[in-house]
Structure 1
Amino acid sequence: MMVSDESSAVAGSRRWWARAAFAFAFLAAATPLVFAGLLGTVGLLLVGVGGVVVTVAALYWFIASRGLLRWVSLTVAVLSPIVVLILFTRADLLVFVVASVVLAFLSVLCARAALRGRPSDTTVREVAAPPARHPVLIMNPRSGGGKVAKFDLQRKAEELGAEVVLLEGAGAVDVTDLARQAVERGADLLGVAGGDGTQALVAGIAAENNLPFLVISAGTRNHFAMDLGLDRTDPSRCLDALVDGVEVAVDLGRINGRPFVNNASFGVYAEVVRSPAYRDDKAGTVLQMLPDLLAGQSGAPLVTRIGDVTVRNPQAVLVSNNPYGTSDLAGLNRRDRLDRGVLGAVTVSVASARQAIGLLRRANVRGLTQHTTTEVIVDSDTPQTPVGVDGESLLLPTPVRCTIEPGALRVRVPRDRPGVRPAAPTVDWVRLRELAWHRRPG
C-alpha cells in the first residue's frame, strides 16, 4: 500500500511538472504577442532565427575556410548576435525577448523534471564483495597532473594491503604486461590510478581472468569513473572499495579485439589528434587541418555499417560503450547505464553550411544519425584507419570492428559513493502531453 501511494505521488508530481512545462511554453509564446503584436512577433522571429542561421553559417565557414574568408566569417559570427541585440533594443523589444527566453528556459526545466526517469533507471545491480586478499594497483604518477602524489594514493593503498606498481618511464612499459604479471603473482583484484586509456587496457586483463577491477579517478577527465558514479574530486575515496566495496557488472567494448571503456572516434577528431603538431598547438592544428578534412581533401573516406544501416562518407563517427544521453546536439554528455549490452553510434556529416544549419533542427538525417547496436564496422580504402580510443591516438587495420561484451567486467566500487547523475532527458512534447493529461500512447 505504501509503495502504491509513493508511485501515485511520483506520477502526480510528474503530471504537474508536465503541465507547468506547457504553461511556461504558452507564456513564452504569448509574451511577444501581447506586447509586440502579431507583426512585431513575426519580426522578432525573423530577426532572431535569421541571426542564429547567419551565426551558424559563419562559424562553419570559419572552421572550413582559410585566409581572408576565415577571418571575415569570424567577424560576421561575432557581429551577428550584436546586430540582433541592437535591433531588438531600438525597437524597445529587448525586455520582452529576454522574458520570453527565460520562460522558454523554465519550460524546458519543467519538461525535463517531468520526463526524468526514476532513480532505479540508472541504478546498476550491486552484489556483496568480500575484501581482496592480494589486490594489485597500477598507478601512473604523471596522470591527471600528478594526482597520485597529490592525494598520497600509493601510501594510502599500501596501508590498506594493496601492492602498488608505479608506471615509471611509461614509454617503455606495457601496462598489459604489468597486469598479466600481477595475475601470475596471484592478484585477486586489479586496479588502475590513471587515464581512461590505461584503465581500459587493465580492465581487459581483469575481464579475461574474471577478476574484479578497481577504478581510481586519478586521470584528467575520468569519464569512466563519472559514469560509474565515483568521486572524481578525491580519487582516494575510490580506495574505500578495498575494505567496504560492492561489485557491479558492466559492459566492455572491443575494437579489433582491444578493450575500451568509453568510446572510439573516427574521422576528423582521430585525424587531428594523430598529427604530431597537435600536442604543442592544439587550436592551431585544428584550424589548419579542418578545412581539408571537412572538404574530404585529406583523410580516407569512411563507410560505416551500424547493424543494417550504412552511412557513407561521414566526417566523424563515435562508437561508445553504451549510448550517451540524447539531450544535446550530438548526444555526447554522459551515460546513465553501462550494462545495457549495446553500443552507441553517432555519425556526423557536415559538408556545407546548409547541413550545419540543418543540425540545429535535427532535420538533416544524413547529417546526424544516432543508433544503438551490438556491432559497428568502419571501413575505408586504406590498409589502416586512425582511431581515437579512450583518448589515445591509434592506427588500426581496416576494416575496424567494434563490438560489445555484455557484463564482461566486474567493477569493485565503494559502497558509499556519489552515484550517477542521470543525463538530462530529451524534451518530447508528445510524451509530455500524455503525462500532463493522462493520455496513453496508441
Structure 2
Amino acid sequence: MADLRTRWMARLAFLAAAAPIVLLLTVAGLRDSLTLLLTAAAGMAAMLAGAYWFLSHRGFARWLGAVVVLAAPVTVAWLYARQNLIWVVVALAALWAAMVACGRNALARVKHQPVREVPPPHRPFLIMNPRSGGGKVVRFELEKRARELGADVALLTDTPVADLARQALRDGADLLGVAGGDGTQALVAAIAAEAGVPFLVLSAGTRNHFALDLGLDRTDPATGLAALTDGVELRVDLGRAGDRVFVNNVSFGAYAEVVRRPEYRDDKARTTLDVLPDLISGHRGPHLRLRIGDRVVDGPQAVLVSNNPYGTDDVAGLGRRHGLDGGVLGVLAVRGLQLVRSTVTEVTVEADQPEIPVGIDGESVLLPTPVRCTISAGALRVRVPRHRPVPPPELDWVRLRHLALGRA
C-alpha cells in the first residue's frame, strides 16, 4: 500500500489538475471560458504553423514565419489583457506547476529502477577520448584519477575503439568504460554486452544524453569514477539498427542528412537551417516509408527511433527518457504538420535507395535498406555510483490514480 504522504501528494496533483477548470468557470462562465480556451488553442496552432514555415522556407518567407511565431503569443496575451484576465493566466501557470511538482513527488517515492549489489571490478579498463566535450578528460584529470583507483586507461588516438575494447577483454578486463561521446559509448557498450561484462559511463562528451538518463552528474564526469569503488549495477536495454547498436537513438531523414554534412560540426545551426527546406519539401534525400506493425507512414521527413521512449511530459518530447529498462522502442515521425508517436518492439524504415544516411547516437553512417530496428531488453550491465542524482519521473496518471486510491 502507498504511504500517507504519497497518497496525499497524488491527490493534490489531481486537485491541481482540476482547479484550472473550476477557476475558469468561476471567473468567466462557460461561454467565455470556451472562448478563452479556443483563443489559446488558435494561438498555439499559429505558432506551430509559423515554426513549420520558418523551417521549410528560405529568405523573406522564413522570416515571415518567425514573425508569426513571435506575434501569436503576444496577440493572445493582448486579448487576455483586454479582458483583464492576465492574472488568470498567471494563476493557471502556478496551478500547472503545482500539479507537476506534486505528481512527480508522489511518483518519485515509488518508481525506481532496480539495482544489484556487486563487488568492485578487479581489472577495469577505460577508454578516454581527450577531444570529447572540449577536452573534459584533461580538464577533470580523468586519466590520473582513474589510474589512482586501479583502472587501466587507454587514450583514444588512431586505434579503432572497438579494437581497444576487444584487446582489453583478451587481457582479462572485467569492466569496460568510456569517457567520450555517445557514439563511442555505443560501440563499446555493444562489445561489453556481447562479452557479458559491466559497462561504465563517464560523462565526458558534449551532450551526454546516455549519462543523463542513467542519472549521472553531467557537470562533473569525475563523479562517475565512484562506480569503481562503491557502485551498483543496472540492467538496461540496447537498441539495434541493422547490425549497429545504439544507446540513445537512431535518426532517419532530415536530421540524418544534416549530420552528414561536413560543415555541420563547425556550425550546426546554420547548416541545419540551410538544409532543412529541401529536406522538408522532399527535394533532397531519399523517400522514406515507415512500418510500425501493421501501420505504414509514407513519406515522413524525419524519423527518430529511440532506445525506450522519451517522456511525454516534455514539450519537445526529446529531453529525457524516464527509464532504460522498458524493453521497447520509442518512435517519433514527422510528416508535414503531422506527428506520429508510438511505442513498439520493432520498426522498419524502407527507402527508394539501396542505402541511406542514418544518424546513430549523433554519428553519421550509411546503412543498407530496409533498416530494421529492434530492442534487446536488459542486454547491458551498467555500473553506476551508488549515490547519484535521480531523474524526475514522468507524470503517469494511471499510476497516480492508483496511488491516490492508496494502492501500491
Match of 1:398 among 364, 369, 373: 369
Conserved in 2, the CA contact under 8 Å of 1:144 and 1:220?
A: yes
Residue in 2 that maps onto 1:124: 114
Alignment of 1:166-181 (within 5 A): 166-168=155-157, 172-181=158-167
Q: Distance in 2 between matches of 1:347 and 1:371?
A: 12
Residue in 1 that maps onto 2:87: 95
> Partner of 1:122: helix, strand, or coil?
coil
Residue in 1 that maps onto 2:309: 323
Conserved in 1, the CA contact under 8 Å of 2:256 and 2:364?
A: yes
Residue in 1 that maps onto 2:290: 304
Alignment of 1:247-258 (within 5 A): 247-258=233-244
Q: CA deviation at 1:201?
A: 0.6
Q: CA deviation at 1:199?
A: 0.8
1:216 aligns with 2:205: no
C-alpha distance after superposition, 1:99-134 (max 9, x if no partner)? 3443344345445556x3643x332231322x3222
Conserved in 2, the CA contact under 8 Å of 1:327 and 1:427?
A: no
Q: Distance in 2 between matches of 1:55 and 1:323?
A: 26
Relative to structure 1, is the Cα distance of residues 286 and 136 closer, same or farther in structure 2, using a 3 angstrom cutoff? same
Conserved in 1, the CA contact under 8 Å of 2:311 and 2:322?
A: yes
Q: CA deviation at 1:155?
A: 0.9
Relative to structure 1, is the Cα distance of residues 230 and 70 closer, same or farther in structure 2, using a 3 angstrom cutoff? closer
Q: Which moved more, 1:293-302 or 1:193-202?
A: 293-302
Q: CA deviation at 1:427?
A: 5.4
C-alpha distance after superposition, 1:252-309 (max 9, x if no partner)? 2222222211111111111111122322332222222222211222111211223343
Alignment of 1:45-60 (within 5 A): 45-60=37-52
- When the two chains are superposed, the root-mean-square deviation of aligned CA atoms in Å is 2.6
Residue in 1 that maps onto 2:130: 141
> Partner of 2:207: helix, strand, or coil?
coil
Match of 2:55 among 47, 60, 63: 63
Structure 2 portions without partners, runs of 5+:
none
Q: Distance in 2 between matches of 1:275 and 1:143?
A: 20
> Partner of 2:262: helix, strand, or coil?
coil
> Partner of 1:202: helix, strand, or coil?
helix
Relative to structure 1, is the Cα distance of residues 221 and 280 closer, same or farther in structure 2, using a 3 angstrom cutoff? closer
Structure 1 portions without partners, runs of 5+:
356-366
Relative to structure 1, is the Cα distance of residues 194 and 20 closer, same or farther in structure 2, using a 3 angstrom cutoff? same
Q: Distance in 2 between matches of 1:151 and 1:424?
A: 32
Q: Distance in 2 between matches of 1:314 and 1:144?
A: 32
* Off by >6 Å, runs of 4+ in structure 1: 431-435
Conserved in 2, the CA contact under 8 Å of 1:346 and 1:370?
A: yes
Q: CA deviation at 1:393?
A: 1.2
Q: Distance in 1 between matches of 2:151 and 2:97?
A: 49
Q: Distance in 1 between matches of 2:385 and 2:406?
A: 42
Residue in 2 that maps onto 1:277: 263
Alignment of 1:330-345 (within 5 A): 331-345=317-331
Residue in 1 that maps onto 2:380: 409
Conserved in 2, the CA contact under 8 Å of 1:196 and 1:391?
A: yes
Q: CA deviation at 1:331?
A: 3.3
Q: Distance in 1 between matches of 2:403 and 2:145?
A: 50
1:156 aligns with 2:127: no
Q: Percent identity?
A: 55
Q: Distance in 2 between matches of 1:281 and 1:84?
A: 35
Relative to structure 1, is the Cα distance of residues 270 and 178 closer, same or farther in structure 2, using a 3 angstrom cutoff? same
For this pair of structures, how many residues does the alignment match? 407
Task: Give 1:57's aligned amino acid.
Answer: A
Q: CA deviation at 1:194?
A: 0.6
C-alpha distance after superposition, 1:140-195 (max 9, x if no partner)? 11111111111111111111111111113xxx431101111212222222111111
Q: Distance in 2 between matches of 1:78 and 1:49?
A: 15
Rg larger in 1 or in 2? 1
Residue in 1 that maps onto 2:73: 81
TM-score normalised by length of structure 1: 0.83
Q: Distance in 2 between matches of 1:86 and 1:272?
A: 38
> Partner of 2:263: helix, strand, or coil?
coil
